[in-house]
Copies of this chain bind each other. A is one copy, B any other.
Amino acid sequence: MELLKKEILKNGEVKNGNILKVDNFLNHRIDVDLMNKIGKEFYKRFKNEKITKILTIEASGIAIAVITAQYFKVPVVFAKKVLSQNLDREVYESKVYSFTKDKSYTVRVSKKYINKDDNILIVDDFLADGNALTGLIDISNQGKANVKAIGIVIEKGYLKGGKKLRDLGFNLQSLVSLSSIESGEIVFE
């Protein structure tokens, strides 16, 4: 997606040599016009998958998911990272290891909101090692739902997450993929 590449080159920042920060349009300030173009693009790519639900993970994923859901005309469910006293006791949960934070956290979805008739589109902002996605797939599997497609805004193509999931047969598509981000320079695949 050329527009997104331009946006990343214009407004993305590379921190500590290898962390891409897109706070300006995706992770803190949200460019809703761009988000709409992202949603339309996911719809174009996955509209034949008979999607019934979009699954994502809080917090940044929510913006992408709800805008995208307008095109599919389906509800969104977001997995919770923070245990809330308001969450149902009956949940599917999965442990996710975060490389960047070097710790594990648990993601949870109420059993009411994933079921065997669901054709799920998972969306998220970033794909690095794929652990968060693997957690969402695990939760979908626990609910016997069908993960029909995975849409990622920015894939770190030099990490192993995307390859691992594609090798497992998932229809995973990224709108942009980075081939490297060394010494502060962003290179697209």
Contact = CB atoms under 8 A, between A and B. Distances in A.
Contact of A63 (B36, B76, B86, B101): B76
A122 interface: no
A33 B114 CA distance: 19
Contacts of A63: 62-63, 66, 76
A73 interface: yes
A78 B66 contact: no
B73 A110 contact: no
Interface string A57-96: 0111011011101100111111010100111100000000
B86 A27 contact: yes
A148 interface: no
Interface of A: 15, 19, 21, 23-24, 27-33, 35-36, 58-60, 62-63, 65-67, 69-70, 73-78, 80, 82, 85-88, 100-101, 109-110, 112-113
A32 B85 contact: no
A80 B30 contact: no
A91 B58 CA distance: 21
Nearest to A30: B76
Contacts of A86: 15, 19, 21, 23, 27
A32 B113 CA distance: 15
A117 to B, nearest CB: 15
Contacts of A73: 32-33
14 contacts: A21-B86, A23-B87, A23-B88, A29-B110, A29-B113, A30-B75, A30-B76, A30-B77, A32-B74, A58-B58, A59-B62, A62-B62, A62-B63, A62-B66
